[in-house]
């Protein structure tokens, strides 16, 4: 054997010696398996025991199959994603849960691809499976803290709107008192029943009006974990517009709602998305007031469908966003208001992003700013 061959052999041996050490340092395992039901393994690295509680030989001799302890709620989706990628000759990435031999379930991240085929055409997969349980736990904590912060911001918003809400409630309550006195007088005078019924109908209408304001306040004040469902965009916008109008009336502004005749449902947490819209609307009204917009000026709430998404926008006629402020406008604790906490837009962006969308803004050509975000269509 020549010196060159001996040197090459030594390097090859050295690299072979490195491989087991490298594989042991993976927070999970490397594998080779057949793309068949339950993914029978033909090779796994030593990390398999710490990951799932089974020895290498148990998996490699197929005494147990990987699919046997893939979480039953996830196994079908994992199979679908793997087959979809391999059919397209692409690598796949998937997150799912496994149920180890002992202990609670774990979250894992897997990446693999087809590296060859058996004589019968069965695909051979190679990849790595890593334990990401701690990452999922951290994400859950962050999500819970964000929801608490969003709830605090909702309560803060309602607190700031107290005067406007009190004004909005005062009108129907005053009307209720007046109609009640009128009904009593008419009853004492033994007037025809239809006249009394007219008064009672008006009283009922004002009671409903006051109750609707209180109901909208209650729904915004609840603290719940994110609950996504299929929601009517039209209903969502009309409901939050009614609450926003309580402040618009005090500021002598109007809210213009621009909606197409038909809009699909969206998949979202309605309360959280309404929180985003309310915050953007209030910011717009404050900007319009700072810009001395005349009485009756409108802030526009709009929605439309485009490219498989629903877009929602809030456009004001205020001062617009200054270039310097625009660079950090979505950062936490950044506010252009002296008394502002600087959390509204940061929380709004986080809420939209948790729904898979993106919150952006542009200054309008004439005056003011337009904030818009997108949401996925509802399913089912």
Residue with tokens 């690295």: 45
> pTM score, two decimals?
0.53
Pairwise CA distance, residues 369 & 315, whole Å: 6
Task: Using only the alpha carbons of the chain, give its radius of gyration.
Answer: 31
Side-chain half-sphere of 340: how many Cα atoms within 13 Å?
A: 17
- Please tell me the distance from the alpha carbon of residue 128 to that of residue 31, in angstroms, as a whole number: 6
Report d(CA 206, CA 175) in Å as an integer. Answer: 7
Q: Looking at residue 292, what is its pLDDT?
A: 84
Which CATH class, in words, describes the domain spanning 3-131?
alpha beta
Alpha-carbon span 163 to 169, nearest angstrom:
10
Between 225 and 57, the higher pLDDT residue: 57
40-69 exposure pattern, b = at least 16 Cβ within 10 A, e = fewer: bbeebbebbbebbbbbbebbbeeebbbbeb
* pLDDT for 11: 40
Query: What is the residue extent of each domain of the chain?
Result: 3-131, 139-376
**Does residue 211 register a pLDDT over 80?**
no
Q: Tokens for 294?
A: 């005349």
For residues 324 and 318, the answer to whether their CB atoms sit within 8 Å is no
Q: How does the average pLDDT of the chain come out, rounded? A: 78
* 156: pLDDT strictly greater than 80: no
* Residue with the larger pLDDT of the pair 125 and 251: 125
pLDDT band at 157 (very low <50, low <70, confident <90, very high): low
What's the confidence (pLDDT) of residue 198? 73
Is residue 374's pLDDT more than 70? yes
Quote the CA–CA distance of 361 and 338 in Å, as a whole number: 22
* For the ranges 44-53, 191-200, 223-232, the one whose mean pLDDT is highest: 44-53
Q: What is the pLDDT of residue 171?
A: 61
> Are the beta carbons of 34 and 40 closer than 8 angstroms?
yes
d(CA 6, CA 12): 10
| 3-state class percentages of the chain: helix first, strand second, coil last, to nearest 5 | 50, 20, 30
Q: What mean pLDDT do residues 332-348 have?
A: 56
Fold for the domain defined by 139-376: Heat Shock Protein 90 (3.30.565)
* Kind plus residue range of the DSSP H or E element containing 287: helix 270-290
- 372, pLDDT greater than 90: yes
The average pLDDT across 249-271 equals 88
Mean pLDDT of 21-30: 76
Question: Above 80 in pLDDT, residue 136?
Answer: yes
pLDDT of residue 328: 57
Domains 3-131 and 139-376 share a fold: no
Residue owning tokens 């918003």? 157
Which tens digit of pLDDT belongs to each residue from 59-100? 999 999 999 889 989 989 999 999 899 888 899 999 999 999
Instruction: Give strand pairing partners of 94.
Output: 110
Cα 192 to Cα 177, 180, 181, 332, distances in angstroms: 21, 17, 17, 63
* Interacting residues of 338 by C-beta distance below 8 A, sequence separation 6+: none
**Long-range contacts for 331-338 (Cβ within 8 Å, ≥24 apart)?**
337/286
Does position 113 have pLDDT exceeding 60, yes or no? Answer: yes
Q: How confident is the model at residue 291 (pLDDT cuts 50, 70, 90)?
A: confident
- Considering 255-259, 273-277, 353-357, the range whose residues carry the highest mean pLDDT is 255-259
DSSP-derived secondary structure for 300-359: EEEEEEETTEEEEEEE--S----HHHHTTTTSTT--SSTT--S-HHHHHHHHHHHTT--E
What gap in Å lies between CA 179 and CA 175, rounded to an integer? 6
Checking if the pLDDT of 10 tops 50, the result is no
Contact 152, 193 (CB under 8 A): no
């Amino acid at each position: 054997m020549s010196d060159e061959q001996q040197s090459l052999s030594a390097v090859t041996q050295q690299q072979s010696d490195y491989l087991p050490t490298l594989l042991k340092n993976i927070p999970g395992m490397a594998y080779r398996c057949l793309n068949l039901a339950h993914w029978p393994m033909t090779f796994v690295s030593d990390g398999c025991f710490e990951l799932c509680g089974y020895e290498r030989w148990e998996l490699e001799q197929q005494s147990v199959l990987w699919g046997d302890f893939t979480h039953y709620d996830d196994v079908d989706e994992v199979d679908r994603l793997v087959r979809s990628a391999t059919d397209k000759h692409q690598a796949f990435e998937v997150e799912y849960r496994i149920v180890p031999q002992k202990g609670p379930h774990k979250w894992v991240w897997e990446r693999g691809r087809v590296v060859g085929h058996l004589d019968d055409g069965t695909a051979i997969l190679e990849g790595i499976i890593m334990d990401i349980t701690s990452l999922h736990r951290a994400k859950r904590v962050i999500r819970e803290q964000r929801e608490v912060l969003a709830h605090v911001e909702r309560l803060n918003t309602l607190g700031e709107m107290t005067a406007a809400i009190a004004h909005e409630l005062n009108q129907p309550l005053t009307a209720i008192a007046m109609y009640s006195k009128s009904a009593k007088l008419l009853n004492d005078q033994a007037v025809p029943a239809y006249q009394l019924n007219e008064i009672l109908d008006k009283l009922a209408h004002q009671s409903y009006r006051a109750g609707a304001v209180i109901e909208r306040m209650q729904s915004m004040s609840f603290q719940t974990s994110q609950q996504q469902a299929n929601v009517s965009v039209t209903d969502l916008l009309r409901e939050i517009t009614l609450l926003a109008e309580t402040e618009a009336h005090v500021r002598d502004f109007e809210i213009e709602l621009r909606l197409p005749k038909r809009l699909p449902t969206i998949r979202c947490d309605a309360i959280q998305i309404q929180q985003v819209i309310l915050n953007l609307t209030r910011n717009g009204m404050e900007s319009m007031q700072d810009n001395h917009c005349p009485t009756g000026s409108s802030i526009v709430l709009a929605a439309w469908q485009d490219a498989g998404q629903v877009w929602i926008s809030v456009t004001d006629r205020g001062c617009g966003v200054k270039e310097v402020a625009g660079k950090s406008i979505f950062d936490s604790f950044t506010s252009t208001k002296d008394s502002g906490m600087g959390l509204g837009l940061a929380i709004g962006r986080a809420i939209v992003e948790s729904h898979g969308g993106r919150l952006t803004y542009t200054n309008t050509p004439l005056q003011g700013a337009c904030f818009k975000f997108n949401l996925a269509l509802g399913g089912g």
